[in-house]
Structure formats: structure tokens, C-alpha cells
């Protein structure tokens, strides 16, 4: 079904490389006719990395604007520039999170310092509120906002720790924003992706075991592919999901629906969750 986003314009934050979920959502959006602008952490190396990954997508002259989501001034400057470039937008992709990796390990949650907790909640959850507030005036005809979350928001995943708490706050923010922005025709949803080898996930200890465990126990008996998530993002950005808001949409090969998780007899991987 080509052209699901013909004529649509949107902003994507933040692409890390061509193995990031944001890259695959943007790639699917552009393939279906969308024009995308991109935000990036205001570091020279990040700009180079984003440009390189977009070239691999076939986008050779992208609109790039630095945006530090921990700064209200930087967010305001980002949306001012976006308004000058595009006038209005139809969607916003929030694909960013941060927590100090020193505290993303089994047995480390209790030792989480106050400043680490505050930073994780600010960058990973409050940023969605701040970005939605900036995007809403550019969406006079309604639109779609999507964020990325994970099962660790509502179940204990060893080593996910403070990021799980931040994702729980993110998911609650999705629901409250959906109600606040619904009267303006702006939908707000989140995708809860299964464990995937991304740059962000590399900071989580035990990722390899997590992938083995998920593959053995998911309903589809496989790990989710990153492009599975990209295509789900396309659905939530398009009019195919016009009646969907405030939802957490799982794309994890059915791992989240399995209550008692049992390893195959042939597997020696121990349970970790």
C-alpha cells in the first residue's frame, strides 16, 4: 500500500544509526511519501553520524536541527526552526531515552542515586511532554505523536532498573497527553518493542540472554525484527490508525502475552525474567 503518508510532514528525534528504531520508522515513512525533518543531540559527532545514516537511507540533503531535550530553550529553538521550514507538521516521532549505564545492571536498582533517577525521568519521559507541547501548535489540523517504550515499564526486567521506571512514566504520559491533545485531533501512542540489538540496548547487561529467552518464549517463537517496529510506526503515523490514541502497541512477537514462560527442552539458556 504505497503512499500512506503522501503529502505528510513530520519530525523524528533521534536517529543514532541505521540500526536504530527511529531510522526504520523514518525510512518507512519516507517510502510512503512523507517529508521528514530530524533532530539530533547537539554534538558534532552526532550530526555526522545522523547524516551518514540518512545517506544510507537515500536522504542526501536532510533538514537537521540540534535539539537537547533536557533544555527548554533548545526545544523552543528546534520547533521555531521547524515552523519556519515546514509551516505545519503532521507527526512527531519521540525515539530517545537515557539512563546512566552504570546503574543498568542486575542488583543495582536500590543504589540508584537521586541525580541518576532525575536525569532518566527527565530525558526519557518528561521530554515527550515538552516535545508534544512544542509540536502541538504546528499541528492545526491534528496529527500523530508516537513514542518508544519497552516491557520493562510494567514488568521487572533484570538490569533495566531505573529505565523501567522512566518508561512507566513515559507510558502514563502517553495516556494523559492523548486526553489533553485529543480535542485538537492529535493522537498520542507508544510502541512497546521487543528486545532488539540497537545502540541504546547495548548498555543493558544480559542482552544476549534476553534475546535467547525472548526467542524461545514469544508466541511467534522468534525475536522481533527492527523493521517490524518501523512498519508499526508507519501504521500509527498514518490514517490507518485514525481512531487509535492513548495506546501502548506491543511489537514483540507476542512475548508480552505469555504468562508462564518455559524454555524448550533443547535450550540451555536459563530464565532471566
State the catalytic residues. 150, 160
Instruction: Single out the residue of 181, 233, 257 nearest to residue 20, CA to CA.
Output: 233
45-54 burial code (b ≥16 CB/10 A, e <16): ebbebbbebb
Which among 144, 152, 156 has a CA at the least distance from the CA of 168?
A: 152
Q: How far apart are CA 174 and CA 248, in angstroms?
A: 8
Bridge partners for 193 per DSSP: 251
Question: What are the CA-CA distances from residue 83 to residues 35, 113, 220 (Å)?
Answer: 14, 39, 43
Amino acid at each position: 500500500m504505497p503512499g500512506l503518508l503522501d503529502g505528510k510532514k513530520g519530525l523524528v528525534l533521534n536517529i543514532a544509526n541505521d540500526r536504530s528504531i527511529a531510522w526504520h520508522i523514518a525510512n518507512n515513512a519516507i517510502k510512503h511519501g512523507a517529508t521528514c525533518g530530524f533532530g539530533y543531540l547537539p554534538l558534532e559527532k552526532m550530526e555526522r553520524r545522523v547524516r551518514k545514516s540518512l545517506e544510507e537511507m537515500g536522504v542526501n540533503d536532510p533538514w537537521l536541527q540540534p535539539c537537547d531535550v533536557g533544555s527548554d530553550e533548545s526545544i523552543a529553538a528546534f520547533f521555531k526552526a521547524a515552523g519556519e521550514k515546514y509551516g505545519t507538521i503532521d507527526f512527531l516521532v519521540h525515539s530517545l531515552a537515557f539512563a546512566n549505564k552504570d546503574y543498568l545492571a542486575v542488583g543495582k536498582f536500590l543504589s540508584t542515586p537521586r541525580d541518576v533517577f532525575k536525569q532518566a525521568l527527565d530525558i526519557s519521559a518528561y521530554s515527550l511532554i515538552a516535545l508534544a507541547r512544542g509540536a502541538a501548535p504546528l499541528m492545526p489540523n491534528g496529527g500523530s505523536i508516537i513514542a518508544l517504550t519497552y516491557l520493562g515499564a510494567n514488568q521487572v526486567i533484570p538490569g533495566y532498573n531505573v529505565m523501567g521506571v522512566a518508561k512507566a512514566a513515559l507510558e502514563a504520559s502517553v495516556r494523559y497527553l492523548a486526553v489533553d491533545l485529543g480535542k485538537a485531533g492529535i493522537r498520542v501512542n507508544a510502541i512497546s518493542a521487543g528486545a532488539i540489538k540497537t545502540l541504546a540496548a547495548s548498555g543493558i547487561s544480559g542482552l544476549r540472554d534476553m534475546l535467547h529467552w525472548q526467542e524461545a518464549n514469544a508466541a511467534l517463537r522468534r525475536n522481533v525484527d527492527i523493521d517490524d517496529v518501523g512498519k508499526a510506526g508507519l501504521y500509527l503515523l498514518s490514517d490507518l490508525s485514525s481512531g487509535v490514541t492513548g495506546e501502548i502497541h506491543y511489537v514483540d512477537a507476542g512475548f508480552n502475552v505469555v504468562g508462564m514462560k518455559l524454555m524448550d527442552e533443547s535450550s540451555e539458556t536459563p530464565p532471566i525474567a
